[in-house]
Amino acid sequence: MKLRSGFFKMLILSIFLLAAGSSPEAGGGTDFSLRDWIDKDGMYKIKLVREYIAAAGQDHVIIRQPAEYYVKEIDTVVQNSTKNGNTAGLENPVGLIVKIIAIMDGDWDNGEDKLELARQFMGPVAFDNFVRQYPGKYQKLMK
């Protein structure tokens, strides 16, 4: 079931990326791609994600999950992209992936309603897919 869950997470992420683009305004903020991520060691990845979390904090966004959580999630996205032949997805910036995961998990706290933020960020098609594929995450956003 983990592969299935990972596949759907990658599918949802792909839809978000198409909808959101990969500009700094969309949360990318860097040219450091998932492809660049592959060759880095764990400590480098943790440090990089901590920098993204700190940068979000500068913009008055609170991310509560630790960097290690995001490293694990990003590694899963990369593994699934590679397994599924979605090598184009590896060109997306790591910062955008952190933001997408945080929004999906309700961990992107900028003071806005988390459900409404997810709905606006994802767009209607991706949001509907998200609700169907991740009912638990959707319920968490509703709290």
* Residue 10: count of CB within 10 angstroms of its CB: 20
Q: Pick the residue with more confidence: 141 or 11? A: 141
**Mean of the per-residue pLDDT values of the chain:** 83
Tokens of 116: 């409404």
Q: Which residues have a Cβ under 8 Å from the Cβ of 92 and sit 6 or more positions away?
A: 17, 22, 28, 33, 34
pLDDT tens, residue by residue, 56-97 = 999 999 999 999 999 999 999 999 889 888 888 898 899 999
d(CA 122, CA 120): 6
Counting beta carbons within 10 angstroms of the beta carbon of residue 23, is it exposed (0 to 12), middle (13 to 18) or buried (19 or more)? exposed
pTM of whole model > 0.85? Answer: no
Residue 40 burial by Cβ neighbours in a 10 Å radius (0-12, 13-18, 19+)? middle
Q: What does the alpha-carbon distance between residue 53 and residue 108 come to, in Å, rounded to a whole number? A: 10
Position 96, amino acid: L
**Residue among 100, 95, 90 nearest 121 (CA):** 100
- The tens digit of pLDDT for each residue in 113-134 reads 999 999 999 899 989 988 998 8
Query: Which pLDDT value is given to residue 25?
Result: 36
Q: How many CB atoms lie within 10 A of CB 88?
A: 10
